[in-house]
Structure 1
Amino acid sequence: MSTRPTMADVAAAAGVSTMSVSYTFNQPRRVSDATKQRVRAAAARLGYTGPHRAAQSLRSGRTNNLGVVLTEKLTYSFENAQARAFLSGIAEACLDTDTGLVLLPNSRKGVDLDRVRDAHVDGFVLWTTAVDDPVLEIAVGTGKPICIQGGPRYPGTQLVGIDDLEAAQAIGAVGLRGAHRPAVISFPRDRDRVGEIVLGPDPAAATFPVTSARLAGYRRAVVDAGFDWADIPVAFVPTNARTEGARAATALQRDYEVDTVLASSDDLALGVLDIGGGVAVTGWDDSDVAEAAGLTTVAQSLYDQGHDAARWVLGSLREIPPAEWSLKVRTSTRLS
């Protein structure tokens, strides 16, 4: 009965140490090209395909996999430019540490929660979610390291992201120059994702922390500009999509004759520009299309945030640095 060749067999056949074989398969940067060629040639002759990953995991307690839990459906990670940037940063960190990437959907019920609980991963990176998301308790209950982009702050987790309130107040001040009838197009208020227009909603009532913080910043900017927040129409959209921005802007212009819109994302802001009407508009994220569209927006690097989040979870970064943001003022807003 034939047996599976071992790392020691390959080392003997290649005339190198067992450690050199291990490095060739697990940390190839630590051995010379010549040694790698000898080891791989010997492995091919013997039919050795590499270390047995399941056995390695049992011995080390590590899986060499990182779980990424999305608030949105899985397709969002491929459709949305900023989600793609965030995942690219995570993927780069995984590449640097020879780690696999496991994408996990999060419908907040049933099998999706079981997937997170039972995931064969060493830790989790979570896309921003609501404060009452049951996946938070389940992920923390695994005892594995967890980093959340954009919040919420939750015991036993780390956070990566910018100061959304401060940035919203700053972009709001720019967007409101020369405004007479301003409005806001916002991310969903809570997990129900109801699309509706509400006058002067309480930011603290939003259970998505990013929504809450940006509304609070917009409210400060509105008050500073001499408006009453209670009079400001805020259109909550069910999803962050350009079509939703256009739909919300159409309703705001029709029912409130708005001349300025503070939008929670570039996609939503581009939807406003799509329907025209001469409305001043601000976005958020400085996506690739923002500059070409002349969009005034908040710039942040979700790639860097994903990279830092993954490195922290995987143990190659001791402390996550503060995420940076800046304003990009362009032609979509008034000069004064």
Structure 2
Amino acid sequence: MTKKMTIKDVAKAIGVSTATISNAFNRPDQLSEALRTRILAQCKELGYVGPSAAGRYLRTGRSGVVGVVLSDRLAHSMNDYVGSHFLSGLAEEFDKAHINMLLLSARDMDQSNRQRLHESMVDGFIVYGSVPSGKTLDHLLRQQKRLIVVDHFLKGYASINIDNRSSSRVITEHALKHNPKKIAIMGLRLNSDTEMKMVQEADLDNLGLTLSIDRLNGTFDALDAAGIARPWNRIWNLPANDHNLASRAAFEALSSPDRPDLFICQSDVIAIATRAMATQMGIKIPDEIKIVGFDGIPQAQNFHPTITTIQQHSTEKGRMAAKLFIDGKTKDDVIMPTELLIGESCP
């Protein structure tokens, strides 16, 4: 049986250092294109396919893999515009650094066999979204690896966020210029309920999505400053950022005898569903009702009336999270900018 060639064997056969062989496979920017092409061709002739990941881990203590922990199911994160563009931004920066991503769902990480796999495979974690206290969070913290959180805060660790409360206040103040008489808030994960329904103040709990509670408080800040009562009888809560759920909530609100004339939606997905339902019901926007959203996804601007919303930059948020991880800046708290986009739904 032929002995498998090591990187030392290959370096000796070609007449270069082991570092040069390693760079040809793992850090091409360190070599000229001509030298790298020659080395890779000679390696192919020798039947050498590159340094093993296990060997690299033993030498450096690093696997070159980052665990990206998603608070939602993987399918949702891949299909959601905001989530998928965040991942795209991560990938852009990690590709440049020759780092791989391992996508993980926080909902599946509390199984002991999977925990052991994660511990051995990754150099650290980027957590996207809120992971509540419990086994998953304890597992991440126990490893004492590099950890960065996005759209959430965790004491002692770097974070990437937008100012959800301030941004929500800005868009609410804009909407209040039209002097609405009946305001509806279409909330997203304001509590831990798994059903779409209206909520009262007593229904809010600490298991709600942090960014949604911040957005709700931003709306309340604007209402309080304007001397307008908080609309506790017209706050809907959706357990997921889902078009069908949002359509049901919108139909319920639009069909009520006390129909709202302003819909403050905590995501553009909810605003788009509300726009579609109102159009289907023959309700004119913005003449009879006005709608504002949050996120700035393209679908909100692709059809008329375009949605007034808060634009956040999800791809840049991903790039920033990757840069913090690569640079080892594990204590920084970064607040990304947002902008008010005024559309036709609430001019």
Normalised to the residue count of structure 1, the TM-score between the two structures is: 0.91
The Cα of 1:129 is off from its aligned counterpart by 1.4
Of 83-92 and 183-192, more deviation after overlay is shown by 183-192
Deviations 1:81-131 (A, max 9, x none): 1110011011112101111111111226742x7535640111111121154
Name the structure 2 match of 1:3: 3
Deviates more, 1:271-280 or 1:191-200: 191-200
In structure 1, the residue matched to 2:72 is: 72
TM-fit CA distance, 1:206: 5.4
Q: Is the 8 A contact 2:125 2:146 kept in 1?
A: yes
Q: Tell me, what secondary structure is at the counterpart of 1:147?
A: strand
Aligned residues: 332
Residues 316, 231 of structure 1: alpha-carbon distance in 2 compared, 3 angstrom cutoff: closer
| Corresponding residue for residue 61 of structure 1 | 61
1:20 aligns with 2:9: no
Deviation of residue 309 (structure 1)?
A: 1.4
1:227 and 1:31 map into 2 onto residues whose CA distance is 65
Residue 229 of structure 1 aligns to a residue whose secondary structure is coil
Q: Secondary structure of 1:104's match?
A: strand
Deviates more, 1:240-249 or 1:166-175: 240-249
List alignment gaps of at least 5 residues for structure 2. Answer: none
Q: Deviations over 1:172-206 (max 9, x none)?
A: 11123321111111111234433210245686755
Q: Tell me how far apart the structure 1 counterparts of residues 192 and 319 of structure 2 sit (CA, whole Å).
A: 27
Find the partner of 1:306 among 313, 318, 328: 318
Summarize the Cα distance change of 1:222–1:272 in structure 2 as closer, same or farther, 3 Å threshold. Answer: same
Partner Cα distance (1:116, 1:85) in 2: 27
Q: Which residue of 2 aligns with 1:329?
A: 342
> Contact 1:160 / 1:323 at 8 angstroms: preserved in 2?
yes
State the 1:224 CA deviation: 2.8
**Alpha-carbon spacing, 1:306–1:114, altered in 2? closer, same or farther (3 Å):** farther
Match in the other structure for 1:44: 44
Q: Is the 8 A contact 2:89 2:316 kept in 1?
A: yes
Q: How far 1:331 sits from its partner (Å)? A: 0.6
8 Å contact kept, 1:200–1:231: yes
Q: For residue 155 of structure 2, what is the amino acid of its counterpart?
A: P
Change (3 A) 1:117 1:128: farther
Q: Assess if the C-alpha contact under 8 Å between 2:183 and 2:231 holds in 1.
A: no
Identity %: 26
1:238-264, CA deviations, whole angstroms, 9 ceiling, x for partnerless residues?
110122221111111223411111111
Q: 1:315 to 1:115 in 2, by over 3 A?
A: farther
Partner residue of 2:271? Answer: 269
Shift of residue 45, structure 1, vs aligned partner: 1.0
CA distance in structure 1 between the aligned counterparts of 2:114 and 2:155, rounded to whole angstroms? 21
Match of 1:290 among 300, 316, 339: 300
Q: CA deviation at 1:306?
A: 1.4
State how 1:1-336 maps to structure 2 within 5 Å: 1-107=1-107, 110-111=110-111, 115-116=114-115, 118-119=117-118, 120-151=121-152, 153-178=153-178, 179-200=180-201, 205=206, 207-231=208-232, 233-255=234-256, 256-276=258-278, 277-278=283-284, 279-293=289-303, 294-315=306-327, 319=332, 321-333=334-346, 335=347
Q: Secondary structure at the match of 1:173?
A: helix
Q: 1:130 to 1:61 in 2, by over 3 A?
A: closer
**Helix, strand or coil at the partner of 1:107:** helix
Distance 1:157 1:116 in 2: 21
Q: CA RMSD in A?
A: 2.2
1:195-249 per-residue CA deviation (whole Å, 9 max, x = no partner) reads 2102456867553211110110011122233321154511110110122221111
Secondary structure of residue in 2 paired with 1:322 = strand
Between the aligned partners of 1:32 and 1:198, the Cα distance in structure 2 is 63
Contact 2:189 2:212 (8 Å CA) reproduced: yes
Higher alpha-carbon deviation: 39-48 or 101-110: 101-110
Alpha-carbon separation, structure 1, partners of 2:169 and 2:48: 60
Aligned to 2:198, the other structure's residue is in SS state: strand
Q: Give the whole-Å Cα distance in 2 for the aligned partners of 1:10 and 1:108.
A: 42
Task: Summarize the Cα distance change of 1:192–1:158 in structure 2 as closer, same or farther, 3 Å threshold.
Answer: farther
Distance in 1 between residues matched to 2:298 and 2:345, nearest whole Å: 16
Shift of 1:141: 0.9
> 1:132–1:207: 8 Å Cα contact kept in structure 2?
no
SS at match of 2:335: coil
Structure 1 contact 78–84 (Cα < 8 Å) conserved? yes
